[in-house]
Amino acid sequence: MTIKEITCSCLNLKYLDLKGCENISKEAIDRLVSLNPNTHVENFVSTITTPDLIGALSDLLSRYSNTSIAINSQFLTQSTLISRAVDRILADQAECWYSTDLTNPEL
């Protein structure tokens, strides 16, 4: 049954449950309600068209990619800073060990 058939045959329609219905556009529901303003529509799930779906996926992947890049660059920056700090500490310790005369405790 089409929206047009429902509109023509059910002039006093008050409630329409679309649970389980597929391939119904928002425009069709808007038309039904405009022709029968007292009709209450429930469980309408708009069908996502291919361009809409591609756009939504593109936006999602773009946001994920940008977030991932920001997190990775921040991690690499922190990792580099930590690595440099550890290298300095080890170099200072090595210098301390090699410059200390262990045979002369007064130095």
Are residue 73 and residue 24 in the same domain, yes or no?
Answer: no
| Weakest-pLDDT range from 4-8, 13-17, 87-91, 95-99 | 95-99
Residues sharing a CB contact under 8 Å with residue 32, sequence separation 6 or more, in sequence order: 3, 6, 7, 16, 39, 41
- Residue 106's pLDDT is what? 55
Per-residue pLDDT at 53: 65
User: Do both 22 and 72 map to the same domain?
Assistant: no
pLDDT digits (tens, 9 = 90+) for 42-92: 877 766 556 666 777 777 777 766 666 666 666 666 667 677 777 777 666
Residue 8 belongs to domain spanning:
3-42
For residues 30 and 65, membership in a common domain is answered with no
| pLDDT over 90 percentage in the chain | 0
Same domain, 12 and 61: no
Same domain, 26 and 57: no
Q: Are residues 61 and 80 in the same domain?
A: yes
Residue of higher predicted confidence among 93 and 4: 4
Q: In terms of domains, do 33 and 69 share one?
A: no
Count of domains observed in the chain: 2
Whether residue 37 sits in one domain with residue 10:
yes
